[in-house]
Structure formats: structure tokens, C-alpha cells
């Protein structure tokens, strides 16, 4: 968690101290994720948040660095079958991307790392397992001049021949450092 805060701090310092052509900003917001495929057979809708740094390049482009934290609860029938009281999957993405802006509308492909953590509890005993994998995303949305950002993102992760995917709906706010 310290690495996440350090990364965000570095992004903020970088965006506020270097004059770049284009719009530098940071953003944060809330996510609602819908798991797809086999992941959707295991988990319910997920909720979380994200933080994003955007470094302006040119008039319409921005390099992005996005991270977040989303929790998906394991479906009750699967928990009963496994004999656990509580179980969840947590996803922390760290994605580098390029956002292309077109008068408010934007498209943003991303590549990076997904950190997955599964937690299960029986009574007072709990266990956690974490692993990381290659992750990707492709999103789009609309960013208003007042900073409000509404978007949708298709994301996935792959490891050892298997993959998980989900769609996230995002409501966020971007703070611009345009001079």
C-alpha cells in the first residue's frame, strides 16, 4: 500500500512541476465493475475507486498512469459449496496508457500489471492469497470542462493460459494543472 501512495505522490509532483505542452491533470473516482465469463460465474458486482495521473503530450494526447482498488464478493452458492463464511476477490491494477481527447470524448488503451488477492474467512480464521498478472484495458468516456469524467472500461488479465475480464463504469473528477 505504501508503494501505491508513493506512486501517486510521484505522479502529482511530476505533473505539477514540469511544464508540458498539453493538459496535465490528476483524477480520482469510483468504479462499479461487472465481472464477465468465468469470473462472472464466481463473483458478484464489484465496487471500488481509482486514481489516475495524466501527462499532456501535444494538444489532444495524454499519457496515463492508473491504479485503483476494487472488491468483488464471491457468490453465496459458491461460498456455501466451499464452506466459507466470507470470500472476496480484490483487484489492484497498475496500468500505463494513452488517452486521446476529441472535444470531451476520449479513448484510452492501457497495458500493465494486475494484482489479484483472494480472501476467505471461516469464523475468526481467514486466509489470503495474492498473485500478479499481465493486465490490459480499453476505455472511453466524456470529460467535461468542469472536471467531471464519466467513462466505461473493458479490462482483463491473463496468467498461465487463463484470463478474467470485466467491465467498469466510472464516475470521476479530474483536477487540471493547465496554465
Q: Does 8 score more than 80 pLDDT? A: no
Pairwise CA distance, residues 65 & 98, whole Å:
9
Report d(CA 83, CA 94) in Å as an integer: 33
Q: What is the mean pLDDT of residues 102-129?
A: 92
Q: Which CATH architecture has domain 2-152?
A: Beta Barrel (2.40)
Q: Is a pLDDT exceeding 70 seen at residue 159?
A: yes
CA distance 87 to 142: 35
- Range 107-124 average pLDDT: 93
Q: Per-residue pLDDT for 19 more than 60? A: no
Residue 5 DSSP code: H
Between 83 and 27, residue with greater pLDDT: 27
pLDDT at 92 exceeding the cut of 70? yes
Q: How far is CA 107 from the centre of its chain?
A: 15
pLDDT value of position 136:
96
Mean pLDDT of the chain: 88
Q: Which helix (H) or strand (E) holds 17?
A: helix 2-17
Query: Nearest CA to 22 among 115, 99, 81?
Result: 99
Residues listed for the chain: 179
What number of other Cβ atoms are within 10 A of residue 44's Cβ? 15
pLDDT at 22: 78
pLDDT band at residue 6 under the 50/70/90 scheme: low
pLDDT at 9: 60
Amino acid at each position: 500500500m505504501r508503494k501505491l501512495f508513493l506512486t501517486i505522490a510521484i505522479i502529482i509532483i511530476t505533473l505539477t512541476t514540469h511544464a508540458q505542452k498539453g493538459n496535465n491533470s490528476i483524477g480520482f473516482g469510483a468504479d462499479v465493475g461487472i465481472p464477465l465469463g468465468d469470473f462472472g460465474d464466481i463473483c458478484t458486482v464489484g465496487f471500488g475507486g481509482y486514481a489516475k495521473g495524466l501527462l499532456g503530450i501535444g494538444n489532444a494526447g495524454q499519457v496515463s498512469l492508473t491504479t485503483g482498488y476494487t472488491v468483488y464478493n464471491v457468490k453465496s452458492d459458491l461460498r456455501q459449496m466451499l464452506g466459507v463464511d466470507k470470500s472476496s476477490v480484490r483487484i489492484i491494477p497498475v496500468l500505463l496508457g494513452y488517452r486521446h481527447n476529441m472535444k470531451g470524448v476520449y479513448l484510452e488503451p492501457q497495458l500493465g500489471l494486475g494484482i489479484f488477492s483472494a480472501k476467505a474467512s471461516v469464523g475468526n480464521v481467514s486466509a489470503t492469497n495474492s498473485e500478479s498478472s499481465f493486465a490490459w484495458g480499453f476505455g472511453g468516456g466524456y470529460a467535461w470542462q468542469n472536471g467531471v469524467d464519466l467513462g466505461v472500461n473493458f479490462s482483463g488479465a491473463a496468467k498461465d493460459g487463463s484470463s478474467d475480464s470485466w467491465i467498469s463504469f466510472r464516475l470521476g473528477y479530474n483536477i487540471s494543472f493547465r496554465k
